[in-house]
Structure 1
Amino acid sequence: MTPMTHLAKGANAPVPTAPLRIAVGRQQAPGVPAVEASAVLLDATGTVRGDADIVFHGQPAHPSGTVRHVGTGEGSGQLAEWLELDLPRIEPAVQRVLVAGSCDDGTFGQVPGLYAQVTATDGTILTHYDITDATSETAFVLGEFYRRDGAWKFRAVGQGYDSGLAGLATDFGVVVAEAPMATPPLPATAAVTPPASGPAALHGVGKSGAVPGGATAPPTAKPVPGAVPGSVPLPAPAVASPVLPGAGVPVPHAVPGAVPVAVPEQQTSPITAPAAAPGTAPSWGAGLFHFEPLVFSGKGEKTVTVALPFPQDSAPVILEARVGRQYNFLAVQIVGRSTDVFCNDLPDHYGRALLNPPRKGGPLKLRVRHSGTWELTVLPLTTALPIGPGTIQGSGREIFVHTGTAADLEVRAKDPHSGWFQLNQYQGDTPDDLRRPTEQLVHAWNGRRVKEKVHIPDGPLFLAIDKSRHHWELTLEPLPLA
């Protein structure tokens, strides 16, 4: 019999490539908040592909049949929700499966004996992870299954979110339906969908926004083989909407290519950067869309039109965001798509993200949501921050261009809120190739600090810190020529 592996936070262990069951459990006691388990399927970029990639009691099976929510069980003073994964049959496009939990009537610090446990179908316990450091969180990624060298491993993650299931979901490319804001009043053209219950209010990337599972009731739970007997369904928790912060004024930030904003009495958070490494101009440089920067500003919720004649299959452009000093959460969505350009905190009230124009070309509309004042600047991709030998420092999301030779890149980052950090590489022969990352260089999200060294090939290429609340430092060291 395979011995059980007790995992500490951040540790991992191999699991057999076989059908497995996962329990999200706790001690059973009066007045303890209910915990709902869910599974989230992610592709190589760390995002969901659509609504169906979220599995929970209201949407209990993935279309592939490889991931299922199979009910709740209780016994011996324990209560657990169970998931099933058929690892041999999971689609190759799925690289990770998160095991998450949420509770709406309390915090995880009030949940005694919280754990995630992986078992074989015969009931043999393979891994067990006790979460002992929960406090004010209302959503948790307890663990994840991930592919490595053709096999599967399970990692004890223990990443909590005070912002509830909505905060967790937005980190993985999920759009959350929100209730209307009390102030400021919404424009007549803006439509707001009230939240549904539980993960049903989450919409996956690339979907129309239909609520998965609709308003169906939780399935009747049945005893799970290998689980404790006497299964009963748990109530579905409600989704907590992201906090849309209040008023403020734009904050300037020293970035090459940005349009300066003259605002008195501001604190700045400048990026310090070395000169770009010598190298050839990008082979697709002539094919990039060049234009004068466009600046939009407003307060609260507003829809703006980026009236640029984008060519067909255009490369991304850069969307630079600045928000007020008091609050730093910003949501920017392309109208007609379920993808968000921004849906996160800006640690120094500033950030830059890649924005993909419509494939058919032409203008696009952006829906902006922020309770305070904000400013967006649309910039050509040629204004990416040059990165060359030496060290560059900054915070949050940023876009870089590397035109030099192959190099080692040392990445250091820290986030006082234990968020996660993702650095992607974009490279190709045509502008269209730059619309999706070619490689995920760094993905770290179960601790406050990042310290990794990665290899980047000869330029030209772009690097994007796509998901981060971190303050970071990048040091590029060119490799010696052979």
Structure 2
Amino acid sequence: MTHLTKGANVPVPTAPLRIAVGRQQAPGVPAVEASAVLLDATGAVRGDADIVFHGQPAHPSGAARHVGTGEGAGQLAEWLELDLPRIEPAVQRILIAGSCDDGVFGQVPGLYAQVTSTDGTILTHYDITDASSETAFVLGEFYRRNGAWKFRAVGQGYDSGLAGLATDFGVVVAEAPPVAAPQPATPAVVTPPMEGPAALLGVSKSGAATGGGPVPPMPMPMPVPVSATAPAPAPAGAIPLLPGPGVPVPGAVPVQQPSPFAVPPAALATPAATPSWGAGLFHFEPLVFSGKGEKTVTVDLPFPQDSAPVILEARVTQYHFLSVQIVGRSTDVFCTDLPDYYGRALLTPPRKGGPLKLKVRQSGTWQLTLLPLTAARPIGPGTIEGSGREVFVHTGTAADLKVRAKDPHSGWFQLNQYQGDTPDDLRRPAEQLVHAWNGRRVKENVRIPDGPLFLAIDKGRHHWELTLDPLPLA
């Protein structure tokens, strides 16, 4: 990871990237709205579509997206995604900007921009330390150089807010007309409303004002609710990998109970984007259950009939072995060692739907977190590693996957692929990619098709390493 100072730059891979505009979480701090502004060779936007923010969350090309808000580890972040290989040739620069409606950036503690790969690796981090009276800010920019991309720490603020920033990049801002003296009532003339970011700014590229009053602020999204939970603290001096949109930091526990659970690096990966059929999945706020020894817990969720699986995340403290079973079933969700006192498994709800009960057996203190399938760990080009059971999502093109795993106890290792057109298709594996019985070491190369698809290490206490190499496009 590279820490940047103002004005410095660093190469970034020409690959899909995620960018967090983050700050420390504290009472009374002004809200910060993140946006991506796509500029041509002249340094100007080509139209309203080149401004991506929560009110217009996707560029027409699909290469730039606002994907929501995440909070945890004492941080609050808005997330943007850039698919650099898909950025149109006419776009030469992409600004990462922020606006502050109800205060100034000097009141925002710990403001920074952080660039990560899709597998959660932090590529670069820039702390803004000199903000004062600004109400809009260009934190950084991506720009093309000799056929590659770089990221520069900009740190340019605007006391004039979004209107001032917009003027610098080709949006003509009209002065608000003076307030006229009261006139006799006349029939109202209804003007069709503008659409897009210019309407929200109160300006248009032609220079016409969109209303008779002052420039209205961009609306802010509501924070993602994380009811009655608080994240485990980050290690002293560490730069936390910020949580992704809509999913609290894995490992959250009730506020009144200090967490005894360490957060492994694998749990901090940013969550996956919802695949094309994601609207058909069962969405809910994460549920946390904790206890000690044997206990039965009720998952009071209205699972739909033939629901797709969900993710059950488990953490234990003293003893590695954990058993979790859906009451009334003979098969287990967990019945294994958790090598790092942590594991994630697919839980397939009963076909009839409705609530379910889980029977937990463990000699020490345990914690279970039920998460929607969209919280699967993203897997993209490059290498990721971890231990034990895990659930991944692949949304890219067909690729070769190198699987390397080792276990001194010569146990099972099984990697399955889940794919289909409906949530019901995901209830069973579409293909068994790797199966090793009594395998001390696993060395296999497999091919996976175009996403979206899920991969799950359904058996194994191995330490594993997965390397994804996308196939060349035809």
Q: TM-score scaled to structure 2, two decimals?
A: 0.46
Normalised to the residue count of structure 1, the TM-score between the two structures is 0.45
Specify which structure has the bigger relative contact order, considering alpha-carbon pairs within 8 angstroms and separated by 6 or more residues.
Answer: 1
